[in-house]
Amino acid sequence: MAAGTEADTATRPELPPRRTILFLQGLATPFFAELGAALVARGHSAHRLNFCGADHIFRGKDEDGVKQHRFTDRPGALADFYRDLVTREGIDTLLLFGDCRPIHREACAVAEELGLTVYVFDEGYIRPGNVTMEAGGSNGFSHMPGTTAGVSELYRNAPALDHADHPPVGTDMRRRALMDIAGHGANMVMKRAFPHYRGHRPAPLSAEAKGWFLRILRTFKYKRTDQRTTAHFELTDEPFFLVPLQLNSDYQIRMHSHYDGIMPFISEVISSFAANAGADQTLFFKNHPLDNGLIDYRSLIAGQVKALGLEGRVFFASGGDLDAMISRARGVVLINSTVGYATLRLGTPMKVMGKALYDMQGLTDQRPLDGFWQNPMPPQQRLANEFLTVVRTYTQIRGDFFSDVGIKLAISEAIKVIEGETPRLPAD
């Protein structure tokens, strides 16, 4: 009997180590709450630190077993608060969305000091159907190799992951908008409960609300014009360059580029195009689908176009099939948008103006922008495919933050990473 027990023990699969996890801020979505409940159900310990009303309403159910904490002090006290909480509760792992938010920069510094594991979530690099989940940092703080030799070595040793048989999971934009509104509303209602909280967005809520109202008005006003413009660039064989705009408040602009906003980038691109592009070439600025409308890019671009005598050669619009435009474009100019990953997949030449994981010899045109217009250099497709495979293997998980199906899938994939079943690049 004893021998049989020992044999059973010997063949029993080893359980993954139990983690004590602290959730920091996420998006306005139940993803973190449901992931916390799922981790507790698997034997891990989970804690949630709430900074504002939005965190509070998306914290999950009290009976889920996730222990709730609040930070209501001034920002200067946050680092000591983190150290005390981590030490008192035995935290060994941090989960957070976006490692550029000030409250998360503090957390990452404390984690490095105390030797904690950090997993950073973000929007998917490769969309649709993927979520970014990296160890140690994402985007400009990623631990992805910065050389083609490093990429190729990782590619040769990458484990085969099952991606082919799973159709992409689309996001639910209507639900996303409603949850974002709910989060903003909770921040207003619970302002007294979190008196010192300041959000990571540079514009106050009142300004953003006004911007969205103005954008809705412009959308109706220019709907037909935009439809004609986007349809043209989805189908044209005429030479044009595509410039996908990012959000002006995006931390990828503020922390991982030399620009302090989108307009200086637009001005630089238009000026370089005017001085160096062929007379038969056109330039198309595609607005970001989540732009809040605070900046009237259409009018500002029109003013620069008129000043430089570029009428009929520079266009601006919202909407359209981005992949179709990338495929038709002679080249793509961007700061560090995730559009770059689609551009590599489609083999279109690309010029990067900020800091991006994909900006390296063999993938992007390394010459100054002035030299890009005449003879844009396409990526080496073998290397591009290797790079995208490495990105998908070590930085992405399947799923979505906003749809029920996507959240369920992302939770199961995130647990595999946390329990060591799915590989991540080391953060040291």
**Is position 207 within any domain?**
no
**Residue 245 near residue 332 (C-beta atoms within 8 A):** no
pLDDT band at residue 1 using 50, 70 and 90 as cut-offs: very low
- The residue segments making up the domain with residue 407 are 17-172+388-418
Residue 416, classed as helix, strand or coil, is: helix
110 and 254 part of one domain: no
User: What are 251-298's pLDDT values in tens digits?
Assistant: 999 999 999 999 999 999 999 999 999 999 999 999 999 999 999 999
pLDDT at 427 exceeding the cut of 80: no
412 and 280 part of one domain: no
pLDDT at 119 exceeding the cut of 90: yes
pLDDT at 173: 84
268 and 292 part of one domain: yes
Furthest CA-CA distance within the chain: 91
pLDDT band at residue 123 using 50, 70 and 90 as cut-offs: very high
pLDDT band at residue 428 using 50, 70 and 90 as cut-offs: low
pLDDT band at residue 9 using 50, 70 and 90 as cut-offs: very low
230 and 378 part of one domain: yes
pLDDT at 36 exceeding the cut of 60: yes
User: What are 322-336's pLDDT values in tens digits?
Assistant: 999 999 999 999 999
Residue 221, classed as helix, strand or coil, is: helix
Q: What is the DSSP letter of 356?
A: -
pTM for the predicted model, two decimal places = 0.92
Alpha-carbon span 384 to 367, nearest angstrom: 18
- Specify burial of residue 124 (Cβ count, 10 A radius: 0-12, 13-18, 19+): buried
**Is position 198 within any domain?**
no
Q: In whole numbers, what is the pLDDT of the chain averaged over residues?
A: 93
377 and 409 part of one domain: no
Domain of 149, CATH number, reads 3.40.50.20
Alpha-carbon span 205 to 162, nearest angstrom: 42
pLDDT at 16: 77
360 and 408 part of one domain: no
pLDDT at 4: 45
pLDDT at 302: 97
Q: Which of 15-24, 195-204, 269-278, 397-406 has the lowest mean pLDDT?
A: 195-204
380 and 392 part of one domain: no
Q: 3-class secondary structure for 76-98?
A: HHHHHHHHHHHHHHCCCEEEEEC
The percentage of residues in the chain with a pLDDT greater than 90, rounded to a whole number, is 85
pLDDT at 6: 47
pLDDT at 146 exceeding the cut of 60: yes
Average pLDDT over residues 166-179: 82
245 and 326 part of one domain: yes
pLDDT at 233: 98
Q: How many helices (H) and strands (E) does the chain have?
A: 16, 12
**Is position 199 within any domain?**
no
pLDDT at 401 exceeding the cut of 70: yes
pLDDT at 2: 44
pLDDT at 172: 84
| Number of domains forming the structure of the chain | 2
